[in-house]
Every structure is written in structure tokens, then in C-alpha cells.
């Protein structure tokens, strides 16, 4: 199916000036960028986005990292993009990520792992709506 996913280029990758390099990988994979913006997340925005992880030992440092500098927020669209995007970025822990994936190439650790991707159609819908209103998405609605 034609799907959308929420992508984030996280503060570590933005500060290393890897935004263009990472966007090039998305476009090389034939993903369509249908929305994009830079935003430095507030503590409230980051806490809400990661609410499912509240109470885990990595939650507070994750929120601190994600608010430490600008993030690039993107909505990407394509056939089967949710699994295809996850394959392109690689596993959360870069030491487990396949060679040639974005995380294998650019992530430093499980925390400073360069990019985010939605893990299911349900989380993609929730995550896109968390950061974007319909008017910001430049493509016909996906049924």
C-alpha cells in the first residue's frame, strides 16, 4: 500500500551537518518528501512524543538529547514505506544495524542514533499528527 511515515533527522545528525546527506538517501530510495520543517523540540513536545517510554531508564536522557538542538521533521510517502524506511535506517542500536544503513554509517550509539522512523501504520498516523497539520502535507490524502 501507499503509506506515509514520520521521519526525524535528530539533533546529532543535524549538528554534524548530515541533513543533506540523509535526505539524499531518502530520495535515492524513491521516497517522496511530502512535508518538512526544522524545529527545536520543547521538553513538553519530546516528553509527549516519547510518552510510551516514560519510566524507562533511557527516557530522561532521550528527552534531553531530543531537545538539545534543532530536529528536521519529515513526512515521507511511498509504497510500503514503513518497512522500507526502517530497512534503510537500520536497527536502533547502530552496532546491530546492517552495513550501508543510515544508522550504521552515521549513528554513534543507541541514543545518538541520527534518525527516527515510525514502527507501524498506527504509530505513523499518530506521530505525523503530533507534528503536522493536514495543510502542511503537500500530497493528496492517502486512503
Catalytic residues: 116
Q: Does 130 bind ligand CMP (CB under 6 A)?
A: no
The answer to whether 13 touches 86, Cβ cutoff 8 Å, is no
116, 118, 124, 131: which one binds ligand CMP (CB under 6 A): 116
User: Does the CA dihedral 49-3-136-134 come out positive or negative?
Assistant: negative
Please tell me the distance from the alpha carbon of residue 61 to that of residue 41, in angstroms, as a whole number: 14
Q: Does 92 bind ligand CMP (CB under 6 A)?
A: yes
Instruction: Output DSSP code: residue 12.
Output: H
* CA-wise closest residue to 7 among 80, 89, 66, 95: 89
Of 15-23, 39-47, 95-103, 107-115, the window that binds ligand CMP (rule: CB under 6 A) is 107-115
19, 21, 68, 110: which one binds ligand CMP (CB under 6 A): 110
Binding site for ligand CMP (CB under 6 A): 53, 58, 62, 92, 110-111, 113, 116
Amino acid at each position: 500500500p501507499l503509506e506515509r511515515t514520520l521521519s526525524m533527522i535528530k539533533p546529532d545528525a543535524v549538528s554534524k551537518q548530515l541533513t543533506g546527506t540523509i535526505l539524499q538517501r531518502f530520495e535515492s530510495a524513491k521516497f517522496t518528501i511530502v512535508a518538512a520543517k526544522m524545529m527545536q523540540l520543547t521538553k513538553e513536545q519530546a516528553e509527549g512524543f516519547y510518552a510510551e517510554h516514560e519510566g524507562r531508564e533511557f527516557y530522561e536522557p532521550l528527552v534531553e538529547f531530543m531537545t538539545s538542538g534543532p530536529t528536521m521533521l519529515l513526512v515521507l510517502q511511498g509504497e510500503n514505506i514503513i518497512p522500507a524506511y526502517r530497512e534503510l535506517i537500520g536497527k536502533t542500536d547502530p552496532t546491530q544495524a546492517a552495513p550501508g544503513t543510515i544508522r550504521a554509517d552515521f549513528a554513534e550509539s543507541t541514543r545518538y542514533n541520527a534518525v527516527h522512523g515510525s514502527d507501524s501504520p498506527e504509530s505513523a498516523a499518530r506521530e505525523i499528527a503530533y507534528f503536522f497539520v493536514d495543510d502542511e502535507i503537500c500530497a493528496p490524502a492517502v486512503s
